[in-house]
Amino acid sequence: MTHFLDIHKTDPADLRHMIDQARAMKTARAGLPKGTPDAEQPLAGHMVALIFEKPSTRTRVSFDVGVRQMGGQTLVLSGADMQLGHGETIADTARVLSRYVDLIMIRTFEEATLLEMAEHASVPVINGLTNRTHPCQIMADVMTFEEHSGPIRGKKVVWSGDGNNVFASFAHAARQFDFDLTFTGPETLDPEPGLRDQITIERNPQKAVTGADLVVTDTWVSMHDPQSARERRHNQLRGYQVNEDLMRHAKPDALFMHCLPAHRDDEATSAIMDGPHSVIFDEAENRLHAQKAIMRWCLGV
Ligand code: CP
Ligand code: NVA
pLDDT in tens, 142-181: 999 999 999 999 999 999 999 999 999 999 999 999 999 9
> 45 C-alpha vs ligand 1 centroid, how far in Å?
27
How far from the centroid of its chain's Cα atoms is residue 105's Cα? 13
Model confidence pLDDT, tens digit, residues 189-210? 999 999 998 899 999 999 999 9
| Threshold 0.75, pTM exceeds | yes
CA distance 132 to 154: 25
Residue 227 makes CB contacts below 8 A (sequence gap 6+) with 221
| 61 CB within 6 A, ligand 1 | no
Identify the band that residue 100 occupies on the pLDDT scale cut at 50, 70 and 90: very high
pLDDT score for 292: 98
Rounded Cα distance, 164 and 170, in Å: 10
Beta strands in the chain (DSSP E): 47-52, 73-78, 103-107, 125-127, 156-160, 180-184, 200-201, 214-217, 255-258
pLDDT of 20 above 90? yes
Chain-centre distance for alpha carbon 153: 19
Q: Can you give the pLDDT at residue 50?
A: 98
Whether 85 has a pLDDT exceeding 80, the answer reads: no
Distance, in Å, from the CA atom of 268 to the CA atom of 264, rounded to the nearest integer, reads 6
Q: How far is the CA of 259 from the centre of ligand 1 (A)?
A: 7
Query: Can you tell me the distance from the alpha carbon of 188 to that of 204, in angstroms, rounded to the nearest whole number?
Result: 14
Instruction: Provide the mean pLDDT of the chain.
Output: 97
77 close to ligand 1 (CB < 6 Angstrom)? no
CA–CA dist 165, 145 (Å, integer): 19
- Work out the pLDDT band at 87, boundaries 50, 70, 90: confident
Q: Is the CB of 218 under 6 A from ligand 2?
A: yes
pLDDT of residue 172: 98
Three-state secondary-structure class, residue 134: coil
Query: In terms of Cα–Cα distance, which of 121, 150, 126 is closest to 137?
Result: 126
CA distances in angstroms from 154 to 90, 115, 151, 202, 281, listed in the order given: 40, 32, 8, 19, 24
The pLDDT of residue 119 is above 90: yes
On the question of pLDDT at 19 being above 90, the answer is yes
Identify residue 121 by its one-letter amino acid code: A
What kind and span of H or E run contains 107? strand 103-107
Tell me which residue has its CA closest to atom 7 in ligand 1: 57
Give the pLDDT confidence of 230-268 residue by residue, as tens digits: 999 999 999 999 999 999 999 999 999 999 999 999 999
For residues 137 and 103, is the Cβ–Cβ distance under 8 A? no
**Ligand 2 pocket check for 108: Cβ under 6 Å:** no
Distance 62 CA to ligand 2 centre (A): 16
Average pLDDT over residues 46-54: 97
- Nearest protein CA to atom 4 of ligand 1, as residue: 58
pLDDT above 80 (res 105): yes
- Percentage of the chain exceeding pLDDT 70: 100
